[in-house]
Amino acid sequence: MSENYRPLPELLPDEIIERVKKLNPALVSDGCKAVGGIPMDGCMCAEMLPVNPNVTMVGTAMTVECDNGDNFPIHIATYSGKPGYVMVVDGKGFRDRTYFGDLIVHAAQAVGLEGIVIDGYTRDREGITELGFPVFSLGILQRGPIKKDPGRMNFPVQCGGITVHPGDLVVGGSDGVTVVPRDKIEAVLVEAEKKAAYEDNRDITINEYVRCRREGLPAPELAPQWCLDMMANI
Q: Is the torsion defined by CA of 48, 54, 56, 61 positive or negative?
A: negative
This prediction has a pTM of 0.95
The predicted model gives 166-181 an average pLDDT of: 98
Between strands 85-90 and 57-65, the pairing is parallel
Using one digit for the tens of pLDDT, what is the confidence trace for 7-51? 999 999 999 999 999 999 999 999 999 999 999 999 999 999 999
What is the average pLDDT across 78-105? Answer: 97
- Residue 93, Cβ neighbours under 10 Å: how many? 17
Residue type, 49: L
- Name the percent of the chain in helix, strand, coil, to the closest 5: 40, 25, 40
Mean pLDDT of 93-113: 97
Domain ranges of the chain: 14-188
Strands 157-159 and 162-164 turn out to be antiparallel
Q: For domain 14-188, give the fold.
A: Glucose Oxidase; domain 1 (3.50.30)
Element (H, E) at 58: strand 57-65
Q: What is the pLDDT of residue 2?
A: 78
Q: Alpha helix (H) ranges present in the chain?
A: 14-21, 25-35, 72-80, 102-111, 125-131, 185-215, 225-232
Average pLDDT of span 189-210:
97
- Look up residue 192 and give its amino acid: A
Tell me if residue 81 falls in helix, strand or coil.
coil
Average pLDDT, the chain: 97
Backbone dihedral region of 139: left (phi > 0), alpha (psi from -120 to 50 degrees) or beta? left
67: phi then psi, degrees, rounded to nearest 5:
-160, 165
pLDDT at 1 over 70: no
Extract long-range pairs of 12-16: CB within 8 Å, 24+ residues apart. Answer: 12/59, 12/60, 12/84, 12/167, 12/169, 12/182, 12/185, 16/169, 16/185, 16/186, 16/189
